[in-house]
Structure 1
Amino acid sequence: MNKIFVLDTNVLLHDPNALFAFKDNEVIIPAVVLEEIDSKKRNADEIGRNARVVSRLLDGLRELGHLHSGVPLPNGGTLKVELNHRSFLKVQEMFGEMSNDNRILAVALNYSLEQQDLDTQKPIVLVSKDVLVRVKADVLGLMTEDYLSDQSVRSGDELYTGYQTVLVHPAVIDEFYTYRYLQIKHLQLQMKLYPHEFVILKDEMGTSKSALLKVSADGTKLEPLYLSNDPVWGITARNAQQRMGLELLLNDDIPLVTLSGKAGTGKTLLALASGLLKVEDERKYKKLLIARPVVPMGKDIGYLPGEKEEKLRPWMQPIYDNLEFLFDTKKSGDIDKILLGMGSIQVEALTYIRGRSIPGQFIIIDEAQNLSKHEVKTIVSRVGEGSKIVLMGDPEQIDHPYLDSASNGLTYLIERFKQETISGHVMLERGERSKLAQVAADLL
């Protein structure tokens, strides 16, 4: 049976293509949603961009007929801008205030009441990314759903980690140490392996015998890690996942690297140390470009005084903290003098990366979990010839109002690129910042 989906504003501001995501069902856009989208279209951020995209899509659909009467969609469904069903009396009994959210609820409720009087009833489903709107809808007896069509994975447990542990006969481990490679097809593994994925072989007999290997670019062999565990700008890998990360970061044949993990697992420090080695010591790249999105945690503190560099400093301070550690600076302000003297390290906000072409640089994007799919596409498509880009973040620590662990740009990038030979990923799990930081990441 076909359904009627009533869309909340936040669904369209999150993904303008949600208009076409409901197959052959009927999509209803309450009139108040158009008002809210219109109020956002002048914003200079991602929400403003999405509001403008929705406006253009609706304007294009007008050519197929009157939106208030309903127009056909390419997937066989219909779209309608609802001007009726706006009576607020039923909702007012439960929620007195005539807010925009309650007006959207009123449209869905009136549709539901109307369907009860028909011989052939269609289920009414309110789709919203606002948890409280879904709670209110449930109180009113309405069916409600989160918008999940854009999620890269179904749950956090299914996130690609970049490595697997395999129990094998000890003779297999001995064979690897003898010949320095293993043919994957001969192992008869039950799981799928991706290019540059890491494999930890452990003895199924329970001994301490083990080996750390990496899938070859063509996906046919398990090979040893090419890098030793020597320090990189004073940083030595403290666990197997950090060693995997350095293997990817220092491999010039892998232009796209993604790192995920909880706070304190060493993502930023490893990336910066690798970038400094490649730029300053090996001269493989001409510049180290470090950027992060300007998304506040908690309430925004408002406008900041000063020139661009002074305004950016509070947002970029986590980067400077790591650079101070790597350069072992003693006094406040020393890192600024070092960076000014070197000239090959640039710290930017992502706002200033749009529209650029960036060749021959080692690019680090921190806090990438706060980016949308479109923003990640915009950034990665800026990478020019001879550049390497590293995106990292914690998908469980998101400050963006319309993103979650399964729909953010970092998760999307990891899932879409895991089969590509030009990319590599590893999830760092063990905290190395301090014992306190590790316990806090696990418990809080």
Structure 2
Amino acid sequence: MLHKNYVLDTNVLLENPKSIRAFRNGTENTIILPYTVLEELDKLKRDQRLAHLVSQAVGEIEADVNLDILPPFRTGAAGSGDDSILQEIRHSNIVDPILVTNDRILQIKARMYGIHCESYRDSLPFQSESQAYTGFVGAGVEPIFNSFRWEEGFPVFYGHNGQKRVDYQHQAWGVRPRSVYQNLALELFLHPQIPLISVQSEAGYGKTYLALASALDLVLKTKDNPYRKIYLSKPLIEIGSKMGFLPGDVEEKMAPYIRYIHDLLAKLHELRPANRIFTEQNKEALELNPKRFEILPLTYIRGMNLEGAVVIVDEMQNLSRTEARSLLTRMGEGVKCFCLGDTRQVDNPYLNESNNGLNWLVKKCKGMRGYAHIVLKGEHSRGPVTDMVLQSGL
């Protein structure tokens, strides 16, 4: 095979921090980084949205002892980062360098200097822990507690009592799963020996709906159960322009953020009456009975001790690690907690795909006896518009 000298641009390392290994192809090729790339990574490490990618890239650079770094080349005139990279390549002794970049302007400039360019085609999008660990383990891999594995076309659950094939369909408060993954989510939600469950999925796969149906089932369906109440908590992150201060008491301030919860509960109430979680049935708008169902603002969670309840934490990807810890350490005896979210949809400007409450939960609790995680996927979602958006990758 022909030996090649690859010079990697910053955007390649951010696309896939492990690209250094891929381009090296064992010991076949030489990988070179311009000094300017290190400077750009140093600046980007302060960007909350990119810091986790920069950290991984730096880790790969540190681990590669054979990596070549081009010395900086400075001229009297100040130039752009692109110009600096090109000057560092031109004034090096690299034989037939190949600059790998997805920056089309840099590609044009490089061709002016006679430097060969390639785009990075094998992009590997970053996956957070909560995306990468789907709740399934592969064939030949030792199962961890509360994980699934496909065997002969069926999901097999590995739990406290050994393994069992899940060839039956659950039902929670009149809700039947629309996919095998929704059925497995109900398997975890309703499991008596798993008090902490997290669910990751894109929009429209029924995380919140299934969690609410399971909570109603656990709290209202049988008299002899440890759960007396449902709590729901979520971070209050606005999308788009800020609405400013909202008038009214706590419930009135929370109302715009939890309207979808009322809509889902009303839908479940139509499937099967859930009278005990509402105050008066003859009102046009159903009001929640705080003795049975309470919206829990994170602001007031400190010092509380939740017992005998099902707790739903929605949009957990918008909680920081500290906030997630503060919330989860409020869980006392007889609590079952559902943590829901999508780490690809982080709205908190101070968090990113890696550094958020949901991802930290999966990273730290994976494999523990009382914890389980699953990623929902499949063809069914909220509706045809949502399906098209997800399929298009918008």
> Are 1:224 and 2:196 counterparts?
no
Of 165, 171, 191, which residue of structure 1 is paired with 2:141?
A: 191
Of 224, 241, 248, which residue of structure 2 is paired with 1:299?
A: 241
TM-score for the superposition, normalised by structure 1: 0.57
Post-superposition Cα deviations, 1:13-64, rounded to whole Å, max 9, x if no partner, equal 999xx9xxx99xxxxxxxxxxxxxxxxxxxxxxxxxxxxxxxxxxxxxxxxx
Post-superposition Cα deviations, 1:224-263, rounded to whole Å, max 9, x if no partner, equal 34x9524311101111111110011011211100011011
User: 2: distance between equivalents of 1:358 and 1:156?
Assistant: 30
User: 1: distance between equivalents of 2:77 and 2:347?
Assistant: 35
Aligned-residue offset at 1:276: 0.8
Partner in structure 2 of residue 442 of structure 1: 391
Partner in structure 1 of residue 221 of structure 2: 281
Of 179, 182, 189, which residue of structure 2 is paired with 1:242?
A: 182
User: 2: distance between equivalents of 1:404 and 1:261?
Assistant: 16
Going from structure 1 to structure 2, the CA distance change for 1:197 and 1:303 (only over 3 Å counts) comes to: same
Partner in structure 2 of residue 426 of structure 1: 374
User: 1: distance between equivalents of 2:334 and 2:226?
Assistant: 9
Post-superposition Cα deviations, 1:130-160, rounded to whole Å, max 9, x if no partner, equal xxxxxxxxxxxxxxxxxxxxxxx96349621
Structure 2: where are the runs of 5+ without partners? 1-37, 60-75, 85-124, 274-280
Cα RMSD for the two superposed structures: 4.0
User: 2: distance between equivalents of 1:394 and 1:6?
Assistant: 28
Structure 1: where are the runs of 5+ without partners? 24-88, 95-104, 110-152, 167-188, 203-209
Post-superposition Cα deviations, 1:352-373, rounded to whole Å, max 9, x if no partner, equal 2233221221100001111111
> Are 1:400 and 2:343 counterparts?
no
Partner in structure 1 of residue 338 of structure 2: 390
State percent identity of aligned pairs. 29
Paired residue type of 2:353: S
User: 1: distance between equivalents of 2:50 and 2:319?
Assistant: 12
User: 2: distance between equivalents of 1:217 and 1:415?
Assistant: 21
Post-superposition Cα deviations, 1:63-122, rounded to whole Å, max 9, x if no partner, equal xxxxxxxxxxxxxxxxxxxxxxxxxx998x98xxxxxxxxxx9xxx9xxxxxxxxxxxxx
Q: State the secondary structure of the residue aligned to 2:187.
A: helix
Q: State the secondary structure of the residue aligned to 2:296.
A: strand
Going from structure 1 to structure 2, the CA distance change for 1:159 and 1:332 (only over 3 Å counts) comes to: farther
Contact 1:10 1:402 (C-alpha < 8 Å) held by counterparts:
no
Contact 2:136 2:149 (C-alpha < 8 Å) held by counterparts:
yes
Of 262, 285, 288, which residue of structure 2 is paired with 1:334?
A: 285
Partner in structure 1 of residue 203 of structure 2: 263
User: 2: distance between equivalents of 1:442 and 1:406?
Assistant: 24
Partner in structure 2 of residue 35 of structure 1: none
Contact 1:293 1:368 (C-alpha < 8 Å) held by counterparts:
yes
Post-superposition Cα deviations, 1:285-327, rounded to whole Å, max 9, x if no partner, equal 1210011100111121111111211111001112112111111
Aligned-residue offset at 1:280: 1.4
Paired residue type of 2:143: L
> Are 1:163 and 2:136 counterparts?
yes
User: 2: distance between equivalents of 1:10 and 1:331?
Assistant: 55
Of 242, 246, 258, which residue of structure 2 is paired with 1:316?
A: 258
Of 357, 364, 382, which residue of structure 2 is paired with 1:416?
A: 364
Paired residue type of 2:389: A
Aligned-residue offset at 1:11: 6.3
> Are 1:200 and 2:150 counterparts?
yes
Partner in structure 1 of residue 311 of structure 2: 363
Contact 1:246 1:270 (C-alpha < 8 Å) held by counterparts:
yes
Paired residue type of 2:391: D
> Are 1:251 and 2:196 counterparts?
no
Higher relative contact order (CA 8 A, sep 6+): 2
Partner in structure 1 of residue 119 of structure 2: none
User: 1: distance between equivalents of 2:307 and 2:43?
Assistant: 42
Contact 1:369 1:393 (C-alpha < 8 Å) held by counterparts:
yes
Aligned-residue offset at 1:9: 9.4
Going from structure 1 to structure 2, the CA distance change for 1:348 and 1:190 (only over 3 Å counts) comes to: same
User: 1: distance between equivalents of 2:266 and 2:212?
Assistant: 11
Going from structure 1 to structure 2, the CA distance change for 1:434 and 1:8 (only over 3 Å counts) comes to: closer
Equivalent positions of 1:52-131 (< 5 A) are: none
Equivalent positions of 1:148-159 (< 5 A) are: 155-156=127-128, 159=132
Contact 1:361 1:388 (C-alpha < 8 Å) held by counterparts:
yes
Q: State the secondary structure of the residue aligned to 1:438.
A: helix
Going from structure 1 to structure 2, the CA distance change for 1:90 and 1:425 (only over 3 Å counts) comes to: farther
Q: State the secondary structure of the residue aligned to 1:163.
A: coil
Q: State the secondary structure of the residue aligned to 1:312.
A: helix
Q: State the secondary structure of the residue aligned to 1:441.
A: helix
More helix, by proportion: 1
Contact 1:196 1:421 (C-alpha < 8 Å) held by counterparts:
yes
Equivalent positions of 1:40-51 (< 5 A) are: none
Paired residue type of 1:216: G
Q: Where in structure 1 do 4 or more consecutive aligned residues deviate above 4 Å?
A: 3-15, 329-333
User: 2: distance between equivalents of 1:236 and 1:155?
Assistant: 30
Going from structure 1 to structure 2, the CA distance change for 1:377 and 1:190 (only over 3 Å counts) comes to: same
When structure 1 is superposed on structure 2, of 282-291 and 324-333 the one drifting more is 324-333
Contact 1:159 1:411 (C-alpha < 8 Å) held by counterparts:
no
Going from structure 1 to structure 2, the CA distance change for 1:231 and 1:412 (only over 3 Å counts) comes to: same
